Structure 1
Amino acid sequence: MVMSDATADAAGDAETPKKTSSKLPLILGIVLALAGGGGGFFAAWSGMLPFGGSAHADEGDAGHAAPGDHGSTGDHAAPDDPGVAVPMGDVAFVEVPQLVVSLGTTTDMHHLRFRTSLEVAASAAADVETLMPRVVDVLNTYLRALEPSDIDAPGALIRLRAQMLRRVQLVTGREAVQDLLVQEFVLN
């Protein structure tokens, strides 16, 4: 007897038992996700990760760290690390004179008015004040070289701020200037 393909398939399906799906992969996935989330929370909470807030930092004296407390601010921490708090006694702010930069005639925005402050180590404030003409020059030169598309781009201010800080630190020294704070960024 000759069976067609359709008849053979129908006959084959009737003989094979139906399989029930296992829920083991689903349960295993949920358990692993919970374990990973819990481990990530613990790592951030305990200070193993640089962006986590340690519950232990609020207790006791924040300036003194217990041995092995990785989430505290110790002497080994870099002052330019955004996750490290700098004691306020070690910081001074130096105002940079306001800059007005011409953006050229290729855009509707003709001028950029820019004002900033430099966060410096208190011991280096006088040295940074002495170097202020160089700081103004490097900022003026950088801002004047910008294209209008550099300013209009999403996230431009963050990128511009990082570039300006890098240039100021080349002039003053990396240990002298810790941060550049934008006070005014107005396009006319």
Structure 2
Amino acid sequence: MAEDDISGDAEGEAPAKKSKLPMIIGLVLALAGAGGGFFAVSSGLILGTDMPMENETEEEPILVEPLNGISFIALDPLVINLRQNSRAAHLRFVAHLEVGQEYEADVMLLMPRVLDVLNNYLRAVDLEDLERPGALVQLRAQMLRRVQIVTGDGRVNDLLVSEFVLN
């Protein structure tokens, strides 16, 4: 009979409930961590930027020397006939050369040779290379190198493309 009383009591009672204390502690710690992380990022302690905050005083602006000693030489516009089987019939190319003022006369003297080098290079480039999204950067570097070879090292600093139109 003693066994019947023990088993009868166990069947009639509900099982003991688990404590919700660990879940509440975890939730509080997660909120505290999120708040601390937000504060650290917004105050610049973590992933800080070099930009001054609103309450900081701005430093004096850095004085930049004026650009002296450079000039720009406009190249004659080039119209290149592309291959017959291509969708585009012509390439219109306009550019400027950045040169040192002391070399301006030298580069102007070599201008027919510069135009010849650019014309020959652009005729040799495939249409697929011209239509690629990043092609202009590579083409510009190639053309600048060819112009520097023709004019001599140090005379031409840069090639600035003003117009590059396929039609």
Q: Which TM-score band (shorter chain)? A: 0.5 to 0.7
Count of residues paired in the alignment: 141
Q: 1:98 aligns with which of 77, 81, 93?
A: 77
State the percentage of identical aligned residues.
Answer: 40
| 2:145 pairs with 1:143 | no
Take 1:137 and 1:119, find their aligned partners in 2: how far apart are those partners? 18
Take 2:90 and 2:16, find their aligned partners in 1: how far apart are those partners? 80
- Summarize deviations over 1:102-128 as a string: whole Å, max 9, x none: 220231212212121111111111121
User: Which residue is 1:18 aligned to?
Assistant: 22
- The CA RMSD over aligned residues, in Å, is 2.9
User: Which stretch of structure 1 is more off in the superposition, 103-112 or 176-185?
Assistant: 176-185
When residues 106 and 33 of structure 1 are mapped into structure 2, their CA distance, relative to the original with a 3 A threshold, is farther
Q: 1:134 aligns with which of 81, 92, 113?
A: 113
User: Which residue is 1:40 aligned to?
Assistant: 50
Q: 1:27 aligns with which of 17, 35, 46?
A: 35
Take 1:91 and 1:167, find their aligned partners in 2: how far apart are those partners? 20
Counterpart of 1:145, as a letter, is A
- The structure whose residues are more often helix, as a share, is 2
Runs of 4+ more than 4 Å apart: none
Instruction: Name the TM-score, length of structure 2 as normaliser.
Output: 0.67
Instruction: Name the TM-score, length of structure 1 as normaliser.
Output: 0.61
Counterpart of 1:182, as a letter, is V
Bigger relative contact order, structure 1 or 2 (CA pairs below 8 A, ≥6 apart): 2
Kindly name which structure, 1 or 2, has the bigger radius of gyration based on alpha carbons. Answer: 2
Counterpart of 1:62, as a letter, is V
Unaligned segments of structure 2, at least 5 residues = 1-14, 53-58
| 2:24 pairs with 1:56 | no
What SS does the aligned partner of 1:97 have?
coil
- Summarize deviations over 1:20-65 as a string: whole Å, max 9, x none: 32234323432443315643325xxxxxxxxxxx8512xxx532xx
